[in-house]
């Protein structure tokens, strides 16, 4: 037994981790910098619950940042991994699982005629942008302030997620020339997008957008905004890329594009299609996808792409979503949490916005609906910190940042939701 397994507290583990790992964490938001205190360490997880190294049980609304749509340690996903494991962990050759996964994605996601597997959401967005540039012969892309598309050099410009949490939306180590190819527009700013095309349209390869931005909290598009992006890309012969790494398969089986009836040219996917294992994918029109090597001139590769364990886990996750169709139930649970929070804030006299769609919701202490990055960053983050700490002390785990999104899984039952709603409402009343 390793010495580290004998450490029986999160404090001990974090102290040792800080000596070995920058900041003691392998992803910055896990450091709890914006909410205070030290992070806890998880020793096991089942269903909707985490158990910490200190033997505290928490109702989990982070869900490994989205992939755990069926909760933790789902028996069907676990069985699929075990079955695949009997044949090996990685082959370096094509395998049957990746063909089945591709077949399922093409059948489910409206925009995808062909798909290429990779190993993370970051790889998916990076590759989709490279493909868009190769296909169009243009260099510039449009992204939206606060949208996080992974830690790609040209995309860490006014980004969200951990970069925003740490107050560093622009990362050091990125040459200015890289960022110069990225045009940043405020989300929901129709005139800003029109102006970008008017000024640089001949060199705009693509717009990349989270159709429901979920990396600076959760922001909903104004009516007609996504339709406008589609129209502008079509008229300019630019590509529209939907980053559905978070929303894909979660807000509907076919993602946001299924909910809103808009078909992008390319789609980035991840999280749920790995069943909790590292994964990414990007797909779209066959004509565009065939620009990828070995058919075309755009190079993209990965040693572990299409890994059989990740594919098996993802197939099990997608099959379960299709067979059980849990979306109405997830919507009901999300609404229950939202209504409890809003009612508690009303009683307390606190301004609160809870944008919620299906199993995703965010918490902003703000007077008006949050429509863009500026609105998110001017909300009362001190109140969120207080709510986070109260919730954690009483057995509910929220994302450790005011700029992240909460997730509900099919493993959350009525008792979990009722208990969490009561705790969160009490947390708001305690502010």
Assess if residue 292 is contained within a domain. yes
Q: Do 255 and 330 lie in a common domain?
A: no
Q: Do 225 and 308 lie in a common domain?
A: yes
Assess if residue 82 is contained within a domain. yes
- CA proximity to 399, closest of 102, 75, 33: 33
> How many helices and strands (H and E) does the chain possess?
15, 14
Q: Choose the final residue of a domain: 275, 290, 323.
A: 323
Q: Choose the final residue of a domain: 296, 323, 350.
A: 323
Assess if residue 66 is contained within a domain. no
Q: How many domains does the chain have?
A: 2
What region, left, alpha or beta, does residue 405 occupy, with left being phi > 0 and alpha being psi -120 to 50 degrees?
Answer: beta
Specify the CATH number for the domain of residue 256: 3.40.640.10
Would you please indicate which residues are annotated as catalytic (active-site) residues?
148, 243, 271
Assess if residue 68 is contained within a domain. no
pTM: 0.93
Q: How far is CA 181 from its chain centroid?
A: 24
| Residues 257 and 247: beta-carbon distance below 8 Å | no
Q: Which two tokens stand for residue 182?
A: 């990225």
What is the structure's pLDDT at 182?
Answer: 87
Specify the CATH number for the domain of residue 27: 3.90.1150.10
What is the structure's pLDDT at 155?
Answer: 67
Q: Range of 223's domain?
A: 75-323
Q: Do 340 and 318 lie in a common domain?
A: no
CA distance 56 to 174: 41
Q: Do 319 and 330 lie in a common domain?
A: no
Q: Do 207 and 319 lie in a common domain?
A: yes
Q: Do 273 and 332 lie in a common domain?
A: no
Q: Do 113 and 244 lie in a common domain?
A: yes
User: Tens place of pLDDT for every residue, the chain, 431 residues?
Assistant: 455 555 679 999 999 999 999 999 988 889 898 898 899 999 999 999 999 999 999 999 999 999 999 999 999 999 999 999 999 999 999 999 999 999 999 999 999 999 999 999 999 999 999 999 999 999 999 999 888 887 666 666 554 444 433 334 466 777 777 777 889 899 999 999 999 999 999 999 999 999 999 988 899 999 999 999 999 999 999 999 999 999 999 999 999 999 999 999 999 999 999 999 999 999 999 999 999 999 999 999 999 999 999 999 999 999 999 999 999 999 999 999 999 999 999 999 999 999 999 999 999 999 999 999 999 989 999 999 999 999 999 999 999 999 999 999 999 999 999 999 999 999 999 99
Assess if residue 70 is contained within a domain. no
The full DSSP string for 299-313 is ----TTTT-HHHHHH
What is the structure's pLDDT at 156?
Answer: 61
Q: Do 116 and 221 lie in a common domain?
A: yes
Q: Do 52 and 83 lie in a common domain?
A: no
The full DSSP string for 228-286 is HHHHHHHHHT-EEEEE-TTTTTTSSTTHHHHHHT---SEEEEEGGGGTTSS-EEEEE-H
Q: Do 179 and 275 lie in a common domain?
A: yes
Q: Do 11 and 124 lie in a common domain?
A: no
Q: Do 14 and 151 lie in a common domain?
A: no
Q: Which two tokens stand for residue 414?
A: 């009525």
Q: Strand order of the sheet with strand 360-361? A: 356-357, 360-361, 406-407
Q: Choose the final residue of a domain: 259, 294, 323.
A: 323
CA distance 63 to 47: 10
């Amino acid at each position: 037994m390793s010495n580290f397994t004998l450490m029986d507290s999160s404090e001990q583990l974090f102290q040792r981790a800080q000596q070995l790992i920058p900041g003691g964490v392998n992803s910055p938001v896990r450091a709890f910098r914006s909410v205070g205190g030290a992070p806890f360490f998880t020793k096991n997880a089942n269903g909707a619950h985490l158990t910490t190294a200190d033997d505290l049980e928490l109702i989990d609304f982070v869900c490994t940042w989205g992939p755990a749509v069926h909760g933790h340690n789902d028996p069907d996903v676990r069985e699929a991994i075990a079955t695949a494991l009997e044949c090996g962990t990685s082959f370096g050759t094509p395998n049957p699982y990746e063909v089945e996964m591709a077949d399922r994605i093409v059948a489910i996601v409206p925009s995808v005629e062909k798909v290429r597997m990779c190993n993370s959401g970051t790889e998916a967005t990076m590759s989709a942008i490279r493909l868009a540039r190769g296909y169009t012969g243009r260099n510039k892309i449009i992204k939206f302030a606060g949208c996080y598309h992974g830690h790609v050099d040209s995309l860490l410009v006014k980004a969200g997620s951990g970069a925003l949490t740490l107050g560093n939306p622009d990362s050091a180590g990125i040459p200015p020339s890289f960022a110069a190819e990225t045009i940043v527009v405020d989300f929901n700013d129709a005139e800003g997008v029109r102006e970008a095309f008017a000024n640089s349209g001949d060199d705009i390869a693509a717009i990349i957008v989270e159709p429901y931005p979920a990396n600076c909290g959760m922001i909903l598009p104004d009516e007609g905004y996504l339709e406008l992006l589609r129209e502008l890309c079509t008229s300019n012969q630019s590509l529209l890329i939907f980053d559905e790494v978070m929303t894909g398969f979660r807000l509907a089986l076919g993602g946001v594009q299924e909910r809103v009836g808009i078909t992008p040219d390319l789609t980035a996917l991840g999280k749920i299609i790995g069943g909790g294992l590292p994964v990414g994918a990007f797909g779209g029109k066959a004509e565009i996808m065939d620009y990828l090597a070995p058919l075309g001139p755009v190079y993209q590769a990965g040693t572990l792409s299409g890994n059989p364990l990740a594919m098996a886990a993802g197939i099990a996750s997608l099959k379960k979503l299709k067979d059980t169709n849990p979306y109405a139930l997830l919507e009901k649970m999300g609404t229950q949490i939202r209504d409890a929070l809003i009612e508690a804030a009303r009683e307390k006299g606190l301004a609160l916005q809870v944008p919620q769609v299906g199993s995703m919701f965010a918490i902003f202490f703000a007077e008006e609906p949050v429509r863009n990055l500026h609105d998110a960053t001017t909300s009362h983050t001190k109140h969120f910190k207080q709510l986070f700490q109260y919730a954690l002390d009483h057995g509910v785990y929220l994302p450790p940042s005011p700029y992240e999104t909460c997730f509900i899984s099919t493993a959350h039952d009525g008792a979990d939701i009722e208990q969490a709603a009561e705790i969160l409402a009490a947390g708001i009343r305690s502010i």
